[in-house]
C-alpha cells in the first residue's frame, strides 16, 4: 500500500528510537524502497546497518520487521559512520595523508608507515621532518603541523630519527684547500681595508635522488597504517611511463594523475635562493599543492611507487620509492 | 669489420642520449628539467621543461637529439611543496 510522506514521517518519528536501539543499526530515514528489478517508487523507512546479518541469526526482537505500521522497511549496508575530520586536524591514531611537520616548519603530509628492524617509523620528506637539513635527530615532529595550529608538547607525535641530507647547488664548501686560500685572501682584503670577503662554495652540482626522512612515533598507537581515503598499502610497485597514480595529501586530499615523464633531472627551489638538483625522478601533471609534500604515491592497485615532494602549477615531482627505501634502509 | 658493423647497427637508448646532453641542456637559461616522456602514440621523446616561455633558449634547443624528438613544455618554477 502506497503511503504519503506525511504518514511515513509520523511513523518514523514514533518508532525511530526503537529501530536505532537494534544491533548494527546506525541510521533510520525515509527513502524509496530498492527492490531488484522493481522500479516502483514506494516510500519506505530505510535502516542503515553496519553490516547485514541473516534474519534467522537474530533473535526476533533484534530483527527489523518487514513493515512498521503499514510502512515497508528497507535495509542498506553502509558501514559505520564517522564524523569527517579535516586533514589539518589532530588525528589519533594518525593515518597517512594528514598534516604533520617539524616544529620549525609550516606543514607537510604524513606519508605512510615504514619499518626498520621491526620498529615502525613515519615516512615523509626531509623538508617536512628535518627542516631541509636544519634539524637535529630527536627534534619534535608535530601532528598537525605548526601552520595548522599544533602546540608543543601537546601535539608532538614523533621524534626525528634520520634524514637523507639534501645537497644544494652553491652550498658552502667544506674543501679545506679552498678554505685556506679564502682565509689568506680575506686576510689580505682586511689589510687593505676592503669590506669584501671570499666564501668558498660548491660549484659542482650535487645530485639528489630523494627528499626523505623518517620519524619514530612516541607510541605505537599514535599512528595507523591506513591512508586517508585510500586504505592499506598493497605492497611495492615501480613507477612506469603512462601509469595511473594517486596520492592522499594534507592540502588537496585524494587526487589522481598519470606519470608523464620518467628519468627526470630537475632543479627544485627550496626557498631563500636554495636550489637542489634531483635525478631519476617521476613527473606527473598537476595533482598537488604546497603542504602535500611527503604524500605517499600509489598505483591503481594501491602499490606504493613514490614519495611526492615538489611541483609547479602544472606538474608534480615524485621520488622513486625504491630509492627512498634503500637510502633510509627501510621496508613496508 | 664485424665489430664496426655491430656498433653501427646498435641504437643508443633515449636514456643514454638524455644523459649525454643533460648537463648542457640544464645549464641553458630557464631550463628546469630534462626527462623522458612519450607522444600519444607511445613514441619516446626527450622533454625539456622551462620556467616560462624563453625565446632565446627555445631557439637554441635542437628539434631532436640522436634521432629522438625533443619537446618543450612550460612547467613553471618547481618548488618544494
- State the pLDDT at residue A37: 58
Distance CA A95, CA A155 (A): 15
- State the pLDDT at residue A205: 66
Task: Show the cell assigned to A151.
Answer: 602546540
pTM equals 0.76
Q: Percentage of chain A surpassing pLDDT 70?
A: 95
Tell me: pLDDT of A1 over 60: no
Domains of chain A: total: 3
pLDDT in tens, A3-41: 789 999 999 999 999 999 999 999 999 999 877 656 568
Residue of A nearest to B33 (CA): A266
- State the pLDDT at residue A288: 97
Is the domain of A65 the same as that of A182?
A: no
Is the domain of A107 the same as that of A218?
A: yes
pLDDT interval class at B49 (50, 70, 90): very high
CA A227 to chain CA centroid, nearest Å: 6
Distance CA B21, CA B70 (A): 12
| Range among A38-47, A209-218, B4-13 rated most confident | A209-218
If you average pLDDT over every residue of chain A, what do you get?
93
Q: Which of A127, A263, A297 to mutate to test the interface with B (most CBs of B within 10 A)?
A: A263
Task: Show the cell assigned to A191.
Answer: 689589510
Q: Is B43 an interface residue toward A (CB < 8 Å)?
A: no
Domain contains B65: yes
A84-88, A224-228, A262-266, A300-304: segment of lowest average pLDDT: A84-88
Is the domain of A141 the same as that of A193?
A: no
Asked if A261 lies within 8 A of B15 by C-beta distance, the reply is no
Tell me: pLDDT of A202 over 70: no
Domain coverage including residue A59 = 5-77
**DSSP assignments along A259-295, one per residue:** EEEEEEEEEEE-STT-EEEEEEEEEEES---TT-TT-
Asked if A293 lies within 8 A of B79 by C-beta distance, the reply is no
Asked if B80 lies within 8 A of A289 by C-beta distance, the reply is no
Beta pairing, strands A213-217 & A207-208: unpaired
User: What average pLDDT score do residues A123-128 get?
Assistant: 98
- State the pLDDT at residue B2: 54
Task: Write down the ipTM of this complex.
Answer: 0.89
Q: State the CATH number of the domain containing residue B50.
A: 3.30.300.50
Distance CA A163, CA A148 (A): 23
- State the pLDDT at residue A188: 87
Residue located via cell numbers 618548488: B79
CA A196 to chain CA centroid, nearest Å: 47
Beta pairing, strands A71-77 & A94-96: unpaired
| Nearest-neighbour CA in chain B from A228: distance (Å) | 19
Asked if A265 lies within 8 A of B35 by C-beta distance, the reply is yes
Domain contains B3: no
Amino acid at each position: 500500500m502506497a503511503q504519503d510522506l506525511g504518514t511515513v514521517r509520523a511513523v518514523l518519528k514514533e518508532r525511530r528510537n526503537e529501530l536505532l536501539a537494534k544491533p548494527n543499526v546506525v541510521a533510520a530515514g525515509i527513502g524509496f524502497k530498492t527492490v531488484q528489478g522493481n522500479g516502483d517508487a514506494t516510500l519506505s523507512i530505510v535502516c542503515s546497518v553496519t553490516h547485514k546479518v541473516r534474519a534467522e541469526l537474530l533473535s526476533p526482537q533484534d530483527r527489523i520487521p518487514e513493515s512498521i505500521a503499514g510502512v515497508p522497511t528497507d535495509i542498506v549496508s553502509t558501514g559505520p559512520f564517522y564524523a569527517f575530520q579535516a586533514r589539518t586536524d589532530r588525528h589519533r591514531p594518525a593515518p597517512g595523508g594528514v598534516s604533520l611537520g617539524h616544529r620549525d616548519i609550516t606543514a607537510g603530509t604524513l606519508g605512510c608507515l615504514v619499518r626498520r628492524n621491526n620498529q615502525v617509523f613515519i615516512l615523509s620528506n626531509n623538508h617536512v621532518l628535518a627542516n631541509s637539513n636544519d634539524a637535529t635527530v630527536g627534534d619534535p615532529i608535530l601532528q598537525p603541523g605548526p601552520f595548522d595550529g599544533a602546540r608543543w608538547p601537546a601535539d608532538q607525535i614523533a621524534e626525528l630519527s634520520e634524514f637523507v641530507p639534501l645537497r644544494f647547488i652553491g652550498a658552502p664548501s667544506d674543501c679545506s684547500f679552498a678554505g685556506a686560500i679564502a682565509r689568506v685572501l680575506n686576510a689580505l682584503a682586511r689589510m687593505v681595508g676592503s669590506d669584501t670577503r671570499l666564501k668558498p662554495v660548491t660549484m659542482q652540482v650535487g645530485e639528489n635522488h630523494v627528499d626523505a626522512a623518517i620519524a619514530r612515533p612516541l607510541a605505537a598507537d599514535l599512528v595507523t597504517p591506513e591512508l586517508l581515503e585510500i586504505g592499506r598499502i598493497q605492497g611495492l610497485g615501480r613507477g612506469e611511463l603512462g601509469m595511473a597514480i594517486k596520492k592522499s595529501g594534507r592540502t588537496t586530499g585524494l587526487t589522481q594523475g598519470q606519470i608523464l615523464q620518467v628519468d627526470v633531472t630537475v632543479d627544485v627551489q627550496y626557498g631563500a635562493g636554495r636550489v637542489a638538483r634531483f635525478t631519476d625522478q617521476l613527473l606527473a601533471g598537476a595533482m598537488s599543492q604546497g603542504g602535500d609534500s611527503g604524500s605517499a604515491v600509489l598505483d591503481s592497485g594501491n602499490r606504493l611507487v613514490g614519495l611526492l615532494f615538489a611541483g609547479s602549477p602544472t606538474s608534480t615531482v615524485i621520488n622513486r620509492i625504491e630509492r627512498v627505501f634503500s637510502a633510509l634502509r627501510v621496508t613496508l | 669489420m664485424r665489430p664496426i658493423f655491430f656498433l653501427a647497427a646498435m641504437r643508443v637508448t633515449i636514456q643514454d642520449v638524455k644523459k649525454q646532453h643533460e648537463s648542457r641542456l640544464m645549464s641553458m637559461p630557464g631550463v628546469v628539467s630534462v626527462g623522458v616522456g612519450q607522444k600519444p602514440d607511445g613514441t619516446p621523446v626527450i622533454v625539456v621543461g622551462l620556467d616560462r616561455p624563453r625565446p632565446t633558449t627555445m631557439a637554441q634547443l635542437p628539434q631532436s637529439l640522436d634521432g629522438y624528438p625533443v619537446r618543450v613544455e612550460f612547467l613553471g618554477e618547481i618548488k618544494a611543496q
